[in-house]
Amino acid sequence: MSTPTWEAAADLVVVGTGVAGLTAALDAAEAGLRVVVVTKDAAEEGSTRWAQGGVAVVLGDIPGDTLDAHIADTLAAGGGLNDEAAVATIIRGGPAAVRRLRERGALFDARGSRLERTREGGHSAFRVVHAGGDATGAEIERALVAAARGLALLTGHLAVDAVRDTSGRVAGLAVLDDEGRPGLLRAPAVLLASGGYGQLYASTTNPGTSTGDGVALALRAGATAADLEFVQFHPTVLYTGPAVGRRPLVTEAVRGEGAVLRDRTGTRFMVGIHPLADLAPRDVVAAAITRRMAETGADCMFLDATALDGFAERFPTVFASCREAGIDPRREPIPVTPAAHYACGGIVADVDGRTSVPGLYAAGEVARTGLHGANRLASNSLLEGLVVAERAVRAIAADLAVPRSAPSGLIVPAPAVAVADRGIVQRAMSVFAGIGRDAAGLAAASDVVEAATRLATPIDRAGVEDAALTLLAQAVLAAAGTRRETRGCHVRTDFPERDDVWQRSSLAVALDECGRPVVTADLLAGVA
Ligand code: SIN
């Protein structure tokens, strides 16, 4: 990055204004830290506002449901790769975190004083709290943005690189401001809460902001990422013909309330595939839809919600998307197809948000805490963002209280990075690295990305995002090529079975000396 034309200083810089970023910023301000929040768009533009289903949490008022059952469901969905201690900590932290979110003004759907619940894939109980029917993320975002009024919030500011001192400790963040001018935010702590990388694929539920900037920035700063091959595809986005970009989500809660999947002959195809049938974990449903589409040569499957009462009132967001596409879900099945939805992997961080780089923290989708394993349980993501953000702020405050010497000699990663055309990357990832991958396809995708890549110094948002997507494509392909088995969201057609050899293997990725992502270690087994 070029020489900064302006500087500012803080105790903590938070990158991102979704559920994790704003929760952390509010907590940090309450803890007396000088906090600056940067986001590359308007505050509301991240992934959080698009979340529909809700927040999975056990509040103790549903007979028979327990925290242990929520933990067990999370582990069952995660395919044996979850970090069990992280799962327990985050799930058990949920009730208090949701209480604080409500105190900050988020209004969940309720009958009298009792919150309503829905159910989603993989959950053994109705435990998902929701808002505005299917507008949970939008309500959380509204409440947090309102609560954050008065905080130092730099919209239109793009995080480019972590700046470290000669000891390797984070000393600040290089940014491009809303006029494209390079600036330096000096701070001993940077918390990444910048979301995932759904834009790696041509069709995704994610907004245009989800370009993996945070994971790329952390890798360039020397952090480790893991579980990158586990890109979760949501089973049901509204299908309106071939299209690219963000696609309208049809929340799993529609199935939770009784809708069923059918093929174009009207046959229910989830029965017999999994004991929970249409409410199987998301990876199982997405893979089954993909298989059925291939078997029948269809472009989509159908979600039949015609037997549900009050669809328009219960699912206003989905209803509006359907009506816009000329579909009336009260009378006809909704055409659906899977699309890239959530990064189960990310920067390796503990449940307190600490990464391997001193001073660099991560929370929310950008982080891999071990909660999700090979496949995230529905509606555990907003929960993770809330819990880990709060814990990270406590960790940051504790870390900053330890005396340290003033940073000397700032180091910024090399300005020239690999950049490929975004459309080429998205097409290659969609064709070769979606649901159903094999060695030949993954190698072909790598070749396509390689051929499209050149070294460049990004000078604007598009360049920084393209560089992040290029790095993420290389990293996901490296991890997906290494894992020669099928597990969770990672479906290998050439290795279609789960293989116990990989039972405790969480693949870590870091950059080599040339800045290329390589699989460096088996994180859980500790084997290089
Ligand atoms: C959904 O509402 O189906 C998505 C919820 C989630 O991704 O957790």
* Other Cβ atoms within 10 Å of 518 Cβ, number: 15
Catalytic residue (choose from 127, 282, 314, 437): 282
- Distance in Å, CA 104 to ligand 1 centroid: 22
Assess whether the C-beta atom of 47 lies below 6 angstroms from ligand 1. no
For 486, the enclosing helix (H) or strand (E) is: none
Q: Residue-wise over 460-480: b if at least 16 C-beta within 10 A, else e?
A: ebebbbbbbbbbbbbbbbbbb
- For 378, which DSSP code? T
Place of tokens 């992934």: 47
- Distance in Å, CA 457 to ligand 1 centroid: 37
Assess whether the C-beta atom of 381 lies below 6 angstroms from ligand 1. yes
Tens place of pLDDT per residue across the chain (528 aa)? 678 999 999 999 999 999 999 999 999 999 999 999 999 999 999 999 999 999 999 999 999 999 999 999 999 999 999 999 999 999 999 999 999 999 999 999 999 999 999 999 999 999 999 999 999 999 999 999 999 999 999 999 999 999 999 999 999 999 999 999 999 999 999 999 999 999 999 999 999 999 999 999 999 999 999 999 999 999 999 999 888 889 999 999 999 999 999 999 999 999 999 999 999 999 999 999 999 999 999 999 999 999 999 999 999 999 999 999 999 999 999 999 999 999 999 999 999 999 999 999 999 999 999 999 999 999 999 999 999 999 999 999 999 999 988 888 888 887 899 999 999 999 999 999 999 999 999 999 999 999 999 999 999 999 999 999 999 999 999 999 999 999 999 999 999 999 988 877 789 999 999 999 999 877 665 543
- 127: Cβ contacts below 8 Å, ≥ 6 apart: 56, 57, 58, 62, 65, 70, 117, 119
For 145, the enclosing helix (H) or strand (E) is: helix 136-147
Assess whether the C-beta atom of 52 lies below 6 angstroms from ligand 1. yes
Catalytic residue at 282?
A: yes
- Distance in Å, CA 350 to ligand 1 centroid: 24
Q: Contact at 8 Å (CB) between 108 and 102?
A: yes
- Distance in Å, CA 177 to ligand 1 centroid: 33
* Other Cβ atoms within 10 Å of 433 Cβ, number: 26
Q: Whose CA is nearest to atom 2 of ligand 1?
A: 53
Residue 178 CA, distance from chain mean position = 25
Q: Which two tokens stand for residue 148?
A: 């954050």
Beta-bridged to residue 417, according to DSSP, are 456
- The three-point CA angle 304-309-315 to 5° equals 75
Closest CA to 39 of 137, 146, 141, 158: 158
What is the pTM (predicted TM-score) of this model? 0.96
In the chain, count H helices and then E strands: 13, 27
47, 48, 52: residue to mutate for ligand 1 pocket, most atoms within 8 A of CB = 52
Q: Contact at 8 Å (CB) between 284 and 274?
A: yes
Strand order in the sheet with 507-511: 367-368, 346-348, 225-226, 507-511, 517-522
For 73, the enclosing helix (H) or strand (E) is: helix 67-77
